[in-house]
Amino acid sequence: MMNNTNRSREENQRKKESTVTSLDSRFNQTLKNVQGLLKGRSIPGKILLTRRSDPSLQELSPEYERSSSFKDAGSSDRMTKEVEAILISIFTHHCVSLLKNFMEEVQSTSNANKNTNVNKLTTSTSNIENTSKEVQKSAMGARATDSARVMKFTKVLSGTTVVLENLRELAWSGVPDYMRPDVWRLLLGYAPPNSDRKEGVLRRKRLEYLDCVSRYYDIPDTDRSDDEINMLRQIAVDCPRTVPDVTFFHEPKVQKSLERILYTWAIRHPASGYVQGINDLATPFLVVFLSEYLEGGMDNWSVSNLSPEKISNIEADCYWCLSKLLDGMQDHYTFAQPGIQRLVFKLKELVRRIDEPVSRHVEEQGLEFLQFAFRWFNCLLIREIPFHLVTRLWDTYLAEGDALPEFLVYIFASFLLTWSDKLQTLDFQELVMFLQHLPTQKWTHAELEMVLSRAFMWHSMFNNSPSHFAS
């Protein structure tokens, strides 16, 4: 009996050490990523610093003050040192935050294992093992599953009134799967921050959606205009093409839900109507709100057992959240889509500033940014990355709030310059083919987090210097 007890204690101790080692390994890897950024290994090209009469690089966000010597820098070496100082200041608070989270996790693990009761110790160790396995899954970013972060989310969401700024700060780095539906509703302003009003508001909005469906969708074609009939036909054609790599979206009932959402939205927004690409934007919401009712991986999902009431609630939540998202980028989908054209121009100018060799090569090959980046802005990268990464990316999108359209420019610049060296070796035809079929099929959260880290860095440097977009 004593031998069994000793073996059990030794095994539990090994598991505890393994968990701490796993946390330590993940923390060290994150620090390596940050160090890589600081040393320039992961920054494609170089940020151009010139002494021309260009005010764009003489400003930074007030958070990151630059030394007065920068303006007087007389050599590129000195400028390089100043850039390093800027980058270090940008990431210092990030590193401190990472260290704090890491220590909280280790402390939490240590406290959980101090209990001398063998049964409780075994249960605690089992929970830690499950958490460790979840961290390793590519279905969610590592930071979103950290127990310390889960506790922070719980604290923010448990208040009578949710402080949205605190929620945005947490959500930017990823939201735990089971919390994502509630968090997204709050971030988009669909659910009220006051928890006492939540149920009443959601009930009213869901009934309003049902009324819209009965008035606009559940009617015979004889009651529709020719334009409405053509729009419904286009939506019916596009729905089966939506996220073709995910079998769940092949279900007829799922496609019918998507059709109802898109048609109702288009009728209620006549300034834009339905535009191809909006069908992609509805899919993250559909997956997230279905996750409240369906368990396991998406590959095993089926809506056939869901009641009509549940399906209606899911559709309503998707409809209203899609509406809230697109309210902030209406001119992206109106005639000629001027909002997207404006952002593509800003993307071109930002890439020119960050990585001039890539910019020059693309221009010399005669490739216009509109030819590849238009789809990125139109579908928000949904077609460019594996679908299991989309909800993590959208955590950051929604956390940005009204600033999202401008921040997309930085994300897409970071995304493009992931292949900086490769792009410079391709001719026009090869560039077109490469950018239409980017090698992201095997991407994990590590690659996505690096894209977001670079975007954050460049946004911090240039956000208050809008003239850097000027020629």
Q: Which tokens go with 396?
A: 């950051």
* Residue whose C-alpha is closest to residue 322's, from 269, 389, 396: 269
Q: Which tokens go with 197?
A: 């009003």
Q: What mean pLDDT do residues 15-24 have?
A: 46
What are the b/e assignments for 71-99, b being 16+ CB within 10 Å?
eebeeeeebeebbeebbeebbeebeeebe
Three-state DSSP class for residue 182: helix
The reply to whether 338-464 shares the fold of 197-328 is no
Please tell me which residue, 156 or 124, carries the higher pLDDT value. Answer: 156
* Residue whose C-alpha is closest to residue 168's, from 407, 398, 328, 406: 398
338-464 sits in which CATH class?
A: mainly alpha
Helices (H) and strands (E) in the chain, counts: 20, 0
- Binned at pLDDT 50, 70 and 90, residue 467 comes out as low
Lowest-pLDDT range of 296-305, 432-441, 442-451: 296-305
Digit-coded pLDDT (tens) for 298-317: 888 999 999 999 999 999 99
Integer Cα distance of 189 and 447 in angstroms:
30
Digit-coded pLDDT (tens) for 425-435: 999 999 999 99
Digit-coded pLDDT (tens) for 70-89: 333 343 444 444 444 445 44
Q: Which pLDDT belongs to residue 246? A: 93
* Domain positions in the chain: 197-328, 338-464
Q: Which pLDDT belongs to residue 330? A: 87
Q: Which pLDDT belongs to residue 11? A: 56
pLDDT greater than 80 at residue 256 = yes
Three-state DSSP class for residue 51: coil
Lowest-pLDDT range of 141-155, 191-205, 237-251, 271-285: 141-155
Residue ranges of alpha helices (H) inside 213-251 are 226-238
Q: Which pLDDT belongs to residue 146? A: 77
- Binned at pLDDT 50, 70 and 90, residue 199 comes out as very high
Residue ranges of alpha helices (H) inside 113-216 are 118-136, 142-145, 147-157, 164-171, 180-187, 195-212
Q: Which tokens go with 340?
A: 């997207």
pLDDT greater than 60 at residue 387 = yes
Contact in structure between 65 and 88 (CB atoms under 8 Å): no
Element (H, E) at 412: helix 404-416
CATH of domain 197-328: 1.10.8
Q: Which pLDDT belongs to residue 147? A: 87
Digit-coded pLDDT (tens) for 85-101: 445 444 444 444 444 44
Q: Which pLDDT belongs to residue 416? A: 98
Q: Which pLDDT belongs to residue 462? A: 83
Torsion-angle region of 189 (φ positive above 0: left; ψ -120 to 50: alpha; else: beta): left
Digit-coded pLDDT (tens) for 353-362: 999 999 999 9
Q: Which pLDDT belongs to residue 33? A: 52
Please tell me which residue, 337 or 75, carries the higher pLDDT value. Answer: 337
